[in-house]
């Protein structure tokens, strides 16, 4: 596809009140709606009105997350929307392949082909919740995840597309010759199969990945069709984009088979001054002491006695090799400290906006300029939109930024397809078990 033909891909990262950590305290938000299905339905409908590719729900097993379980929530959204893709995070470390394969196949059928799986290995320790003694280290989690994903894909493939007959005349409901065991056996997993539900509408739900460590990038090059990534500068985003796309040929993949969507967390207003005023208000509402405590734990150094207005250094901070959680996010903060020599207050405020994603404060027109620059200069294939305030931030983005992107020929004016794959320009995957069966027959 030529540069002229390329279109942006946009996802809305859903949240209860917004992606600024102080958003819940702002007068325009309603934290009590964090478990209100109607709130998320309204957000999804706003995103669909803006013709966005998808909405995304993060998930994990940490305490006090306050988040609804994603399959339940997205299934409800699927019933009242028609086009918007529905992406859920599911960890591999604390799940089983059969369960995950079945749930995503179900969501894909419920939504008629709009499901996506954000594959994470589990950065937050949750071993005590799942009868495990300790949280696996980084490389072990990824090794297990690679096997996990392969099993899930084979389970989706355990039904051929025409295995469901529903032939009343002959009395044949399913063609058993087209439903197969997978007989996976290893030190980690023993899965016989087949899955107990027909192959998903899309073949596979869209595979999304969010890690940006070296291991994460290699995992993405092998499996992912969309990457959600955190990049603080356009230069870092370009480097990441080139790096990951260059890894694809070793897995017989091409650049258009993977969409890279950096996080973009905007504060929008009619004037730049008004936007900055809202930014300052959110900073005033930020719990700086709580943020410093979390940053200390993340960096492995006690910052409680560090003056807010003194520059930070990397002295004493954990090395990337010592980090067992999100290595890429840790490195992002270290790079920020080394590059900008910021004060502790500046680091806290920057991370409060979106936890290390690119933040923007200004007008819709200015944001459209920024999006166009990143898109046209090899920094992204689109963005994971993370408004700092919900729902007003998403409404303003849809009502004022989307039309500007459309006027510039950068974004669709109608959905191209009924499935998430179709709207992302991704092909429906062939059945791997059927291909192996055909090859054996030919031999």
Distance of CA 179 to the CA centre of its chain: 32
CA–CA gap between residue 207 and residue 428 (Å, rounded) = 12
DSSP state of 200: P
In angstroms, the CA 420 to CA 205 distance is 8
Q: How many angstroms from the chain centroid is the CA of residue 350?
A: 21
The span from the CA of 400 to the CA of 368, in Å, is 9
Any known ligand binding at 328? no
194: preceding bond cis by omega (within 30 degrees): yes
How many Å apart are CA 161 and CA 198, to the nearest integer?
A: 8
Residue tagged 């410093």 (tokens): 292
What distance in Å separates the CA atoms of residue 39 and residue 49, rounded to the nearest whole number?
15
- Per the structure block, which two tokens stand in for 308? 């807010």
**Whole-number Å distance between alpha carbons of 15 and 297:** 24
Is 142 one of the annotated binding-site residues?
yes
Q: Is 108 annotated as a binding residue?
A: no
Q: Which residues pair with 265 in a beta bridge?
A: 359
Name the β-bridge partners of 159.
179
Alpha carbon of 202 to those of 165, 195, 351, 431: distances in Å?
19, 16, 37, 11
- CB 299 within 8 Å of CB 333: yes
β-strands 259-268, 358-362: how paired?
parallel
DSSP string covering 26-84: STT--GGGGG-HHHHHHHHHHHHHTT-SEEEE-----TT--PPPHHHHHHHHHTT-SS-
* Cα distance between residue 87 and residue 12, in whole Å: 10
370 is in an annotated binding site: no
Binding-site annotation, residues: 59, 89, 138, 142, 212-213
Residues annotated in the binding site for FMN, as ranges? 59, 89, 138, 142, 212-213
């Amino acid at each position: 596809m030529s540069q002229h033909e390329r279109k942006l891909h946009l996802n809305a990262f859903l949240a209860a009140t917004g992606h600024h950590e102080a958003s819940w305290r702002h007068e325009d938000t309603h934290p009590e709606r964090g478990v209100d299905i109607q709130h998320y339905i309204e957000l999804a409908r706003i995103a669909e009105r803006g013709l966005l590719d998808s909405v995304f729900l993060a998930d994990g097993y940490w305490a006090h997350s306050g988040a609804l379980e994603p399959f339940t929530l997205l299934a409800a959204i699927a019933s009242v929307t028609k086009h918007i893709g529905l992406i859920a995070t599911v960890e591999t470390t604390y799940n089983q392949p059969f369960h995950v394969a079945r749930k995503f196949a179900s969501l894909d059928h419920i939504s008629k082909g709009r499901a996506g799986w954000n594959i994470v290995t589990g950065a937050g320790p949750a071993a005590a919740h799942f009868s495990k003694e300790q949280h696996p280290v980084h490389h072990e989690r990824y090794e297990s995840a690679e096997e996990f994903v392969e099993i899930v894909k084979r389970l989706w493939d355990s039904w051929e597309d025409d295995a469901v007959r529903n032939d009343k005349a002959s009395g044949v409901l399913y063609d058993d010759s087209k439903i197969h065991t997978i007989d996976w056996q290893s030190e980690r997993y023993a899965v016989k199969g087949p899955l107990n539900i027909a192959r998903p509408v899309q073949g596979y739900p869209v595979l999304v990945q969010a890690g940006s460590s070296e291991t994460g990038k290699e995992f993405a090059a092998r499996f992912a069709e969309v990457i959600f990534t955190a990049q603080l500068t356009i230069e870092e985003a370009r480097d990441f984009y080139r790096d990951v796309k260059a890894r694809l040929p070793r897995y017989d993949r091409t650049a258009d088979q993977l969409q890279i969507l950096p996080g973009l967390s905007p504060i929008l207003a009619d004037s730049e001054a008004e936007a900055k005023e809202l930014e300052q208000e959110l900073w005033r509402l930020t719990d700086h002491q709580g943020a410093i405590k979390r940053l200390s734990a993340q960096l492995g150094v006690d910052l409680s006695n560090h003056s807010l207005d003194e520059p930070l250094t990397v002295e004493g901070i954990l090395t990337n090799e010592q980090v067992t959680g999100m290595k890429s996010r840790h490195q992002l903060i270290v790079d920020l400290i080394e590059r900008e020599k910021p004060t502790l207050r500046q680091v806290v405020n920057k991370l409060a906006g979106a936890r290390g994603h690119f933040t923007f404060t200004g007008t819709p027109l200015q944001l459209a300029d920024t999006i166009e620059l990143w898109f046209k200069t090899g920094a992204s294939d689109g963005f994971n939109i993370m408004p700092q305030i919900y729902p007003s931030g998403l409404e303003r983005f849809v009502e004022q930024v989307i039309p500007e992107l459309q006027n510039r020929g950068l974004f669709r004016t109608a959905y191209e397809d009924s499935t998430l794959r179709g709207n992302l320009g991704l092909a429906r995957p062939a059945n791997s078990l059927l291909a192996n069966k055909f090859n054996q027959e030919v031999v």
